[in-house]
Structure 1
Amino acid sequence: MSFDDLLAANREFASDFAYGGFDGVARAGVALVTCMDSRIDPLGMIGLEPGDAKIFRNPGGRVTEAALEAIVLGVHLLNVQRVLVVPHTRCAVASNSEEVIRERIAESAGVDATWQRFHVIEDQVATLGLDVHRVTSHPLVPETVEVGGFIYDVDTGLLDRKY
């Protein structure tokens, strides 16, 4: 498979590119940790535009060490004042066991996948609470930073605040 279609789309995108010279700060003061799921439009779901927010995506929308690093950088260097942690409904890592995901990956890959950890989420709301706490209790995230935990409904587009 080639990248020609994507490169053609990039040339079209660049033909009227409006973000050159932008300093990279979060103009709306927002950081968002969410899942890599393609049903999620991180900026659109909260009414923002490119340049408004810092976005960190990973399977399950978890506050990992790398996500915390991004949040700390955002807070201290890139104008982040609010952090949203946003996993979503019908998430593969929140609706399958580690064993089932490993089996599916092994079947697709044709090799053993029992050694790979996929960090499944057994209780999505409780895990979201732990992730919000990871941000609020981090020594480099000041109390002035507002942190919220939300579940995004992939069928309605609505956010449901849990924390």
Structure 2
Amino acid sequence: MADFDDLISANRAFADEFTLGGFDGKAHAGVAIVTCMDSRIDPLAMLGLKHGDAKIFRNPGGRVTPQALEALVLGVHLLGVERVLVVPHTRCAMTANTETELREKIGAATGTDASWQSFGVIDDQVARLREDVRKVRSHPLIPDTIKVGGFVYDVDSGLLEQVD
């Protein structure tokens, strides 16, 4: 239990000043963001949004996985999403290694064979981003009225560049 004491203490302080209750769970700015789990990315701040404005789905590399598509379908039909941004970023670890290299690194670190684990590395970030945007645009449960854009976030400048 002591492993989390610092975080639980911080949560208690957060809760003491908590003013964000009462939201209905909808994306009030009509925005959904699929982005990387990288801690250099603050999805709301990078778009000038605030708590309650957007639905955010994060995973390694910011890929549109089956789980991301599931979240987007729900967001569009139940949570007020009208615009979807797919946002990978510069200097992403998922673009810096091959599957084999990651399997070897993880295997060496754990002493366990990791050859079976898929990590979803990205060989060509722009090509994968365009593919992911197409996945969203062509999904049969996401209407054509939903605006979908692909952007690369620069972790050194904070700027977004639209690719698709």
TM-score range, shorter chain: over 0.9
Please give the alpha-carbon distance, in whole angstroms, between the structure 1 residues aligned to 2:100 and 2:51. Answer: 38
Name the counterpart of 2:19.
Answer: 18
**Is 2:112 aligned against 1:87?**
no
Q: More deviation in 18-27 or 127-136?
A: 18-27
Match of 2:28 in 1: 27
> Which residue does 1:134 correspond to in 2?
135
Cα distance in 2, alignment partners of residues 37 and 82 from structure 1: 22
Q: 2:109, 2:56 → 1: CA distance?
A: 30
Q: Secondary structure at the match of 1:43?
A: helix
**Structure 1: 5+ residue runs without aligned partners?**
none
Alpha-carbon shift at residue 110 of structure 1 (Å): 1.5
Question: What CA RMSD, in Å, does the superposition of the two structures yield over aligned residues?
Answer: 0.9
Q: Give the counterpart letter for 1:115 in structure 2.
A: W
What's 1:100 paired with? 101
- Which residues in structure 2 correspond to 1:148-163 (within 5 Å)? 148-163=149-164
Could you give the per-residue CA deviations for residues 29-67 of structure 1, whole angstroms, max 9, x where no partner exists? 100000011111111111111111000000000000000
**1:72-120: CA deviations, max 9, x gaps?**
0000000000000000111111121111111111111121111101111
Number of the residue aligned with 1:3: 4
Q: Which runs of 5+ in 2 are unaligned?
A: none
The aligned residue for residue 68 of structure 1 is: 69
Question: What residue identity is the alignment partner of 1:157?
Answer: G
The one-letter amino acid paired with 2:112 is V
Runs of 4+ in structure 1 over 2 Å off:
none
SS in 2 for 1:33: strand
* Inter-partner Cα distance in structure 1 for 2:41 and 2:111: 30
Which TM-score applies when normalising by structure 2? 0.97
Equivalent residues in 2 for 1:34-45 (5 A)?
34-45=35-46
3-state SS in 2 of match to 1:99 = helix
Q: 2:40, 2:77 → 1: CA distance?
A: 30
Once the two structures are TM-superposed, the CA of residue 21 in structure 1 deviates from its matched residue by 2.1
What letter is aligned with 1:25?
A: K
SS of equivalent residue, structure 1 residue 50: coil
CA-CA distance at 1:16 after TM superposition: 1.9
Larger mean Cα displacement after TM superposition, 17-26 or 83-92: 17-26
1:146 shift after superposition: 0.5
Percentage identity across aligned positions? Answer: 67
How far residue 20 of structure 1 moved from its aligned partner, in angstroms, is: 1.7
| Equivalent residue, structure 2, for 1:58 | 59
Q: Distance in 2 between matches of 1:109 and 1:48?
A: 40
Q: 1:19 Cα deviation (Å)?
A: 2.2
